[in-house]
Homo-oligomer: A and B are copies of this chain.
Amino acid sequence: MSSHPLDPLSAAEITHISSSIKEKSPGKSLHFKVISINEPPKHLLRKYLIAERNGGSTSHLPRLASALYYHRGTSDMFLVTINLSENSVEQIKLLESHFHGQADVDEILEMRDACLKHPQVIEAIKKYQLPDHLKVVCDTWPYGRDSEDHHPRYVQCYLFAEGEHPGSNHYDMPLPFSPVLDMTTKELVDIIRLPTGPGSELKHDSVYVPHPAREYHHALQSGPARTDLKSLTVHQPQGVSFSVDGYLVRWQKWRFRLGFNWREGMVLHDVTYDGRELFHRLSLSEMFVPYGDPRMPYSRKSVFDVGDIGAGVAANNLALGCDCLGSIKYFSFVVSNSQGQPVDKPNAICMHEIDDGIGWKHTNTRTGAVSIVRSRVLVLQTIITVGNYEYIFMWHLDQAAGLHYKIQATGILSTAPIDPGVTVPFGTNVNEGVMAPFHQHVFSLRIDPCIDGSNNSFVEEDSVAMPWDESNPYGVGYVTKSQLLSKSGYSDSAPNRVHKIVNPSSINKTSGKPVAYAIHSPSKQMLLAHPNSWHGKRAKYAFHPFWVTAHKDDELYAAGDYTYQSHPDFTSDLAAWTAREDNTEDTDIVVWHSISLTHNPRTEDYPVMPCDTMTVSLKPSGFFEQNPALDVPQSTQKGNQSVLIEDKSLKNVLGGAESRGSGRDSKL
């Protein structure tokens, strides 16, 4: 075993695991859901990582993996632990029947096919009277939940018509009926007529009405592309500033290990700056996307994009010069398919440096001395496609010891059919016959800190005006007020409230106060669905922006391990973990940050959405004794090779009244 305990599984390991399990299941056809590395228990892993960082000898850690699979054609789902070091299958567990596996890629393709081939669906499409040049395609959605019923695993199929071009925008032609299929039996359960009027009333005999298309693909635009965008290229003539060995990355005093799995996608492990420990593990724990259209079946239109589908399996193969500009290092990974075979995820993460403007500057106006450094940032980027939507997830690491988690939403709005002339208060019309409903995206960023070590606390800090009294005689003084969360629980946002992860035992000699990292994130509206709605009960984490728990190894996913059609009564989730009221003071804690994007579509978001960006920053706040970017070299033209643009090169085609002159040569 030469692999690091945190390295993702290799193709050979995946094949070995599925073969071993198949051997133990004679006569059964297996449908694999997951084959993934099991990270070692934190208390062992931390010792290993510390020894490794210090160049000491590392204890042997068994390399463990787990697999999740169905007996094909049944709802019997098994969870297996495999010890790769000892080449043994440690435990096979039949899971309780209310747990469902995520929708995997093979299964989705199978369900799309089964849907479109079903005679009743074919009949419904025929009745809709589409013209011959349009082809119907099927998007499968996790069924969600809108009742107590313990359904088998269902899939909700939304149908669209598309043209022949491979970039045709089928979301521009949503069909007004939606088949539901059983994922185990592949049988049709129902064809649901979609509401297309202002309310819930249904039109059972509607037929196709053409409208001018809105296409996003370049080949399908009616007008020409812009011709006045000149090329901009980024070069690093001396090479890049990072070094990489396997999944270990070093850059500008940062050191961390990159991880990747089918579910969370990109993970950062063991993040240190200048040799000091900051974060044990940083990951996208969950993402919930509920829609605000109250009508059936949209009322259950809600997806846990991480738990129901997986940010890792949905990762794009990133392309040089398109997804990433400059000098790019790619990381490729392997996931598994439903047969238990390895599937390459090439270029799933890209890493490169960008210039991010000025890092810091001061001019001494007495002497004219200018001190200036530019800000260089290391970008780790992964992009996922989940049906219509694209999400870009990035970590930006800066030279002043700040980490910035950037989420960008792009891709295509989820659309619904709407009758001519109708508008609804919970959606925006984006084309004739096409409505894009309001929705939210609530991400959960799991922050497993080790700020100068494992024992940390979580505090909220407000700026508050001092009372107007003898110590504040002019009424202008203000101070900060801190509130420690000594037991697991949640904390809400307030304008300027700063949440900090503190190490109470590590005192900053300069400030005299405990070292801390602060989480800066804009105050956002949380889940708008009612707390007692199924959305509310299944995604409790989405009601509060900050949560803190005592660390436990198996608590990784804010909405629970099995989110597909999850029922709150059987789900062990963040709300349940915090309800234990564990001690969270000066101990091994985990901080969970729910980041909410309320997306009420604009017409400008269609037919493809300009990136909408949210940023959460983890910044030192009294962690270092002084600016940690003080040793960044002064910025110089010699190194940066900028080009002065002379006026004469700019006097382009501005004719007539427009060329009236600059006033620079004017005389009185």
User: Is A242 in contact with chain B by the CB < 8 A criterion?
Assistant: yes
CB contact list, A313-342 vs B, under 8 A:
316, 319-330
How many Å lie between the Cα of A84 and that of B663 in the bound state? 13
Given contacts A10-B663, A327-B643, A360-B608, contact A229 B633 (CB under 8 A): yes
- Which listed residue (B299, B387, B480, B650) contacts A600, Cβ 8 A? B480
- Which listed residue (B524, B535, B644) contacts A320, Cβ 8 A? B644
User: Is A490 in contact with chain B by the CB < 8 A criterion?
Assistant: no
CB distance from A255 to the nearest CB of B (A): 9
- CB <8 Å contact, A663 and B7: yes
User: Is A60 in contact with chain B by the CB < 8 A criterion?
Assistant: no
- CB <8 Å contact, A368 and B651: no
- Which listed residue (B241, B360, B604) contacts A626, Cβ 8 A? B604
10 inter-chain pairs at a CB distance below 8 angstroms, sorted by A residue, are A316-B363, A319-B370, A325-B355, A438-B463, A474-B533, A475-B536, A494-B525, A495-B526, A496-B525, A603-B623
How many Å lie between the Cα of A129 and that of B390 in the bound state? 66
Write out, one digit per residue, whether chain A residues 434-452 have a CB within 8 A of any chain B CB (1) or not (0). Answer: 0000100000000000000
Stretch at the interface among A21-29, A175-183, A287-295, A575-583: A287-295
CB contact list, A122-163 vs B, under 8 A:
137, 146
- CB <8 Å contact, A362 and B216: yes
Given contacts A231-B639, A465-B530, A608-B630, contact A243 B651 (CB under 8 A): yes
CB distance from A605 to the nearest CB of B (A): 7
Contact partners of A10 in chain B: CB under 8 A:
663-666
- CB <8 Å contact, B510 and A325: no
- Which listed residue (B357, B611, B650) contacts A245, Cβ 8 A? B650
Given contacts A233-B641, A631-B226, contact A363 B390 (CB under 8 A): yes
Contact partners of A358 in chain B: CB under 8 A:
323, 383, 392, 408, 410, 611
Nearest B residue to A13, CB-CB: B668
CB contact list, A337-372 vs B, under 8 A:
352-355, 357-372
Given contacts A243-B651, A651-B245, contact A642 B496 (CB under 8 A): no
- CB <8 Å contact, A611 and B664: no
User: Is A546 in contact with chain B by the CB < 8 A criterion?
Assistant: no
How many Å lie between the Cα of A244 and that of B664 in the bound state? 13
A-B pairs, top 5 by smallest CB distance, nearest first, are A246-B662, A294-B477, A321-B637, A7-B663, A475-B530
How many Å lie between the Cα of A629 and that of B226 in the bound state? 9
CB contact list, A3-19 vs B, under 8 A:
3-4, 7-8, 10, 12-13, 16
User: Is A210 in contact with chain B by the CB < 8 A criterion?
Assistant: no
- CB <8 Å contact, B529 and A166: no
Nearest B residue to A228, CB-CB: B241
- CB <8 Å contact, A610 and B400: yes
- Which listed residue (B1, B475, B611, B635) contacts A359, Cβ 8 A? B611
How many Å lie between the Cα of A1 and that of B523 in the bound state? 52
Stretch at the interface among A73-81, A422-430, A584-592: A422-430
Nearest B residue to A642, CB-CB: B321
Contact partners of A474 in chain B: CB under 8 A:
146, 294, 296, 299-300, 533-534
Contact partners of A97 in chain B: CB under 8 A:
none
Nearest B residue to A324, CB-CB: B642
How many Å lie between the Cα of A231 and that of B166 in the bound state? 41
- Which listed residue (B226, B479, B642, B649) contacts A633, Cβ 8 A? B226
How many Å lie between the Cα of A596 and that of B496 in the bound state? 9
How many Å lie between the Cα of A626 and that of B214 in the bound state? 8
- CB <8 Å contact, B232 and A353: yes
CB distance from A553 to the nearest CB of B (A): 21
Nearest B residue to A479, CB-CB: B425
Nearest B residue to A229, CB-CB: B241
Given contacts A353-B232, A357-B611, A369-B167, contact A16 B637 (CB under 8 A): no
Given contacts A495-B493, A525-B495, A654-B245, contact A230 B236 (CB under 8 A): yes
- Which listed residue (B329, B375, B478, B663) contacts A611, Cβ 8 A? B375
Q: How many copies does the complex hold?
A: 2
- CB <8 Å contact, B465 and A650: no
Nearest B residue to A521, CB-CB: B522
User: Is A636 in contact with chain B by the CB < 8 A criterion?
Assistant: yes
Stretch at the interface among A39-47, A51-59, A276-284, A560-568: A51-59
Contact partners of A327 in chain B: CB under 8 A:
642-643, 645
- CB <8 Å contact, B530 and A232: no
- Which listed residue (B226, B240, B463, B654) contacts A243, Cβ 8 A? B654
Given contacts A627-B608, A633-B226, contact A3 B363 (CB under 8 A): no
CB distance from A143 to the nearest CB of B (A): 14
Contact partners of A610 in chain B: CB under 8 A:
359-360, 375, 398, 400, 402, 627, 629
User: Is A87 in contact with chain B by the CB < 8 A criterion?
Assistant: yes
Given contacts A426-B479, A658-B248, contact A642 B326 (CB under 8 A): yes
- CB <8 Å contact, B608 and A243: no
Nearest B residue to A385, CB-CB: B363
User: Is A625 in contact with chain B by the CB < 8 A criterion?
Assistant: yes
- CB <8 Å contact, B371 and A167: yes
User: Is A607 in contact with chain B by the CB < 8 A criterion?
Assistant: yes
Write out, one digit per residue, whether chain A residues 295-313 have a CB within 8 A of any chain B CB (1) or not (0). Answer: 0100110100000000000
How many Å lie between the Cα of A417 and that of B640 in the bound state? 39
How many Å lie between the Cα of A376 and that of B666 in the bound state? 34
- CB <8 Å contact, B465 and A603: no
Given contacts A322-B370, A530-B475, contact A2 B666 (CB under 8 A): yes
Contact partners of A526 in chain B: CB under 8 A:
495
CB contact list, A197-228 vs B, under 8 A:
199-200, 214, 216-218, 221, 223-226, 228
CB contact list, A488-512 vs B, under 8 A:
493-496, 508, 510-512
Given contacts A299-B473, A621-B602, contact A639 B463 (CB under 8 A): no
User: Is A628 in contact with chain B by the CB < 8 A criterion?
Assistant: yes
